[in-house]
Structure 1
Amino acid sequence: MSQLEYLIVLVSILVGLGLADLTESLRDLVLPERNVRWDGLPVAWAVIVVGYVLAAWWTFYDLLQSAVWHRPLTFLPVLLTTLALYLLCAFALPDADREDVSYVTTDARGTKTVDLETFYLSSTHRRWFFGTAAIFSLLFIGTVNAGMVYDGDRALQMGVRQTLFALPILPIPALILIATRHRWVHWGLTLYSMGWVVYLLSDVANALAGGG
């Protein structure tokens, strides 16, 4: 087994666990016996997270072919980015089986209802989910730029500039979503983030086509 295959196995396990957690949460929500008050915002962010997974998976497959990442310390940024991606998958949708949370209510007949709007707008969810999203995007962008600088595809000054330029594009909007409960702000930045995911996926697809 080559070093690339060895490292890809670890990354794929973490990504697979994240997707499994996300799909399990979705499955629990759509079960016929589950009473759910649906809301578009958490569903939209679940789709965005899947887009992050696709972009990171193919980017890391190309990135890890460089020998610079085949050392414990230099591999650490890739590992931290993958761990953040796993947590994003885990935080995107609620655990429908929990009862001691604000988003699960019980009526007089004992019927439990999972309220996705309450879950999404809760300060705990916003803090953990969007905080992780900010960390993931910063790690992802920084790691990709570092790899391009090492391979000679980008000058160091340009790599630093591109990383700093990305701050208002992805991490800062995530921090804004932590700070506010206004739905119009969340919808605006959700659509904005979805647009960036589409752009990122198209950019990755073009890079893979060019590399092939």
Structure 2
Amino acid sequence: MTPFEYIFPLVSVIIGLAVADLAKSVHRLLRNRKKVYWDWLPLTTALLVLLTVLNVWWGFYSLRDETYYQNLIGFIPLVTQLILLFFVSAAVLPDKIQKEGLNLQRFYKKNSPYFWSLYAAFIFVIITQQSIYLIIAGIDPLTSIIDQIPNILIFSVFICLVFIRSRLFHAVVVIALFLLFITKWAGMNLGAM
């Protein structure tokens, strides 16, 4: 059994739990739809999280020949990333619907600093993980920083979402991120990885 074959089930289980939590939250909302004041922003954000979860699972396959996650210094950031991804999935939609109902717009406004903090932490761990990988691979630090610019920009945007409370800002950013992620990931192919 290769290290990839050993680690892949763990990755799949944590990702499966994240997808299941998202599905359970959506099911809970649909089941109580008459008590829910619907809002597109948290639902679009949840779709963004689902795309992220699927991207991580899909992208992990490209690491099958890598060796950095086979030791503890590479494995710990991977597990941390997966746990944070589960937290992000669990935080994007409400856990309960009260008897009096649920206003998704109010939920998003109250929950967004916590949610975007988790999402930013997830991206920070990715930056850390990829930097460790590049350093282990012998890539010079400047090149590794340049390679991380897209993730650093996304991390910065997520930090802005933690502190900027404007609904318009959140709406524009979420739509832009959704379009960016769709265009980036639409061409992914397991055969090419």
After TM superposition, is the score higher than 0.5? Answer: yes
Give CA deviations for 1:36-70 in whole Å, capped at 9, x if unaligned: 00000100011100110121112112224312211
- What is the CA–CA distance in structure 1 between the aligned matches of 2:128 and 2:148, rounded to whole Å? 6
Matched, 1:136 2:122: yes
Q: Which residue of 2 aligns with 1:193?
A: 177
Find runs of 4+ consecutive structure 1 residues off by over 4 angstroms.
148-152
SS at the partner of 2:46? helix
State the secondary structure of the residue aligned to 1:112: coil
TM-score calculated relative to the size of structure 1? 0.81
Larger Rg: 1
Residue 108 of structure 1 is matched in structure 2 by none
- Residue 13 of structure 1 is matched in structure 2 by 13
Question: Alpha carbon RMSD of aligned pairs, Å?
Answer: 2.2
Q: Does 1:112 align with 2:100?
A: yes
Are positions 1:68 and 2:41 aligned together?
no
Greater fraction helix = 2
Q: Structure 2 counterpart of 1:137, which letter?
A: I
**11-20 or 55-64, which moves further after superposition?**
55-64
Task: Give the residue type in structure 2 aligned to 1:18.
Answer: A
Equivalent pairs counted in the alignment come to 193
Residue-by-residue CA offset, 1:118-167 (whole Å, 9 max, x unaligned): 00001xx1222100111112222443455466557x65432222224532
C-alpha separation in 1, matches of 2:132 and 2:180:
21
5 Å-filtered alignment, 1:112-191, equals 112-122=100-110, 125-144=111-130, 146-147=132-133, 150=136, 156-164=141-149, 166-168=151-153, 170-191=154-175
The answer as to whether partners of 1:134 and 1:174 remain within 8 angstroms in 2 is: yes
Q: What is the correspondence of 1:23-42 to structure 2 with a 5 Å cutoff?
A: 23-31=23-31, 34-42=34-42
Matches of 1:175 and 1:156 in 2, distance apart? Answer: 24
Q: Is the 8 Å Cα contact of residues 142 and 163 (structure 1) preserved in structure 2?
A: no
Q: TM-score, normalised by structure 2?
A: 0.88
Please tell me whether the aligned partners of residues 130 and 174 of structure 1 are also in contact (alpha carbons under 8 angstroms).
yes
One-letter identity of the residue aligned with 2:39 = D
Asked if the contact 2:74–2:133 (Cα under 8 Å) also holds between the matched residues in 1, the reply is no
Distance 1:64 1:135 in 2: 25
Q: Give the deviation of 1:27 after TM superposition.
A: 0.3
